[in-house]
Amino acid sequence: MSPRATASIPVATRIGGFVYAIRNIVTEARKVEAAGRKVRYLNIGDPIIFGFQTPPHLIDAVETALRSGQNGYAPSAGILEAREAVAADCARRGMPVLPDRVVITSGTSEGIELALTALAEAGDEVLIPVPTYPLYTAVLAKIGARPVFYRTDPARGWLPDVDHIRSLITPATRALVVIDPNNPTGAVYPREVRRELVELADRHNFPLLADEVYADLAYDGAVPAIAAENLAAPVISFSSLSKAYLAPGWRAGWMAVGGDDRLDGVLAAVKKLADGRLCSNGPMEHAIAPALVGDRSHQDQFRADLRARAELTTSRLNAIDGISVVAPAAAFYAMPKVTLPPGKTDEDFVLGLLRATGILCVYGSGFGTRPEDGFFRVVFLASPAELSSIYDDIGEFTREFLR
C-alpha cells in the first residue's frame, strides 16, 4: 500500500493577488473580540446592520415570487420585467438603452467581474482610480490583467486627474473604471470632469466602466448616468439594489451596455459568460421592477440621514489634531488622513485603533493609497450618537498615537 499523502494541497498563485481588505481585516477584529473587547464595525458599507430597513414593498415582491412558484432558473440575462425596468431607469437617468442591452447580475460585483472577464486578456491594462473599490484589482489579479492606477486628488475634492489618465493610456488599455459617486471618498464628480472621461473612452475606443451603485445617494439629489454626456460613447453602467434600495444581501444587480454598436461583441461575450452561471438569484429579480419603477420615497429620508452623518463625520474628524477629511457629497464613506509619524503606516494606525478602542476601519492601502500617506476609510452608517462616541475615541487614540 502506498503511504498516505499528507502534504498540503497547493492553491493557485493567482489567489495571492486577490486581496479584499474590507473583509480581510475582520480576522484581526475577531482576535480583538476573542480577547473580550466589543468591536464597533465601521468596515463594511451595509446599511442593514446599522438598522436601516429594506422597503416593505420590495420584500413583498420577493415573497410573492417565492410563494407563486418563481423558484426555477431565471433566463440567464434576467427576467424581462426586470430588464425593462432597468432600461426605464437608465432612460430616467439620461441613458436610453433597450432591455436587450441589460443583463441582470448577482450584484454590481458580478457585473464588474463579467465585464472585465469579457474585456481583458492576461497582460492587458485597465485604468483604475486610486483610491479604488478593491474588487477591481482583485478581479484583475484573477484574470492576470494589470491595473494601471490613476490619481484622484484629495486637494481637489478627490477629483480624478484627467491629464494623468491621458498619460497612462497605451495600446494595451482595455477599459477605464470610473466610480462616481465614489467609494471610498464620497466624491461626486462635476459635469466637466465626467464629460472629459467619457470623451477619453470615445476617442480611444475603450469602454468606460461606470460604477453607479451610489448614483441615487448623492445628498443633493440623484446623479445622472455618466453615459448621458455622449450617448454614442462606449459606456457600461453598473448598479444594484444593494445600497440605494437597501437590499445588499439579495445580490440583485444589473449592467446596461450603452453607446453605438461598438460594444455589441462585448455584450454578446457577457451574455455567453452569464449563460455559464445559469442566472442571478431568481426570486430577487422580481423586486427590481417594483424598486425602479415603484415608490422610491425611502430614498429622501435615507439621503437626509446620510447628509447629517456626513456633516457630523466631517466636523468631528477635522476637529482632531493630525486628522483632515474631505467632506463627502454622497453615500456613507469618508477617507480621512492622519499625519503619521515617520516610519509608521496606515495599517499601524488602523490596527492600533482597533486594539485600543475596538473601532474597526479599513487602512487606505487596502484601497491602493500609499501606506505612509495615512489614509483610512470610515463607514458612517451608525447612529449620530454612536458616531459621536466613536469620534471621541478616535480623537483620544490619535492624540496618544501621535504623541
Give residues in contact with ligand PLP (CB under 6 A).
45, 107-109, 133, 179, 183, 211, 213, 240, 242, 248, 253
When CB distances to ligand PLP are compared, the closest residue is 107
Query: Which lies closer to ligand PLP via its Cβ, residue 183 or residue 398?
Result: 183
Q: How far apart are CA 181 and CA 394, in angstroms?
A: 26
Instruction: Output 108 or 357, the one with its CB closest to ligand PLP.
Output: 108
- Separation CA 90–CA 103 (nearest Å): 13
Residue 160 phi, psi dihedral angles, 5° rounding: -65, 145
Number of residues written out for the chain: 403
Q: Which is nearer to ligand PLP, 186 or 358 (CB)?
A: 186
For cell 416593505, name the residue: 56
| Cell, residue 83 | 430588464
How are beta strands 376-379 and 333-334 bridged, if at all?
A: antiparallel
* Shortest spacing between CB 212 and ligand PLP, in angstroms: 9
Minimum Å gap between C-beta 239 and ligand PLP is 7
Of the two residues 238 and 391, which places its CB atom closer to ligand PLP in the complex?
238
Spell out the residues 6+ positions from residue 110 whose beta carbon is closer than 8 angstroms to its own.
251, 253, 277, 280
Q: 106 or 314: whose CB is closer to ligand PLP?
A: 106
Nearer Cβ to ligand PLP, position 241 or 340? 241
Between strands 40-41 and 359-360, the pairing is parallel
**Nearest-approach distance from CB 242 to ligand PLP, in angstroms:** 3
Residue with cell 445622472: 224
Q: Are 91 and 298 in contact (CB under 8 A)?
A: no
| Closer residue to ligand PLP in complex, CB, 95/128 | 128
At closest approach, how far in Å is the CB of 67 from ligand PLP?
A: 25
Q: Kindly write down the DSSP assignment for every residue of 39-67, as one continuous string.
A: PEE-SS--GGGGT----HHHHHHHHHHHH
- What's the min distance (Å) between Cβ of 179 and ligand PLP? 5
Rounded least distance, CB 215 to ligand PLP, Å: 11
Query: What's the min distance (Å) between Cβ of 240 and ligand PLP?
Result: 3
89: how many CB neighbours lie within 10 A of its CB?
Answer: 25
Question: 246, 302 in Cβ contact below 8 A?
Answer: yes
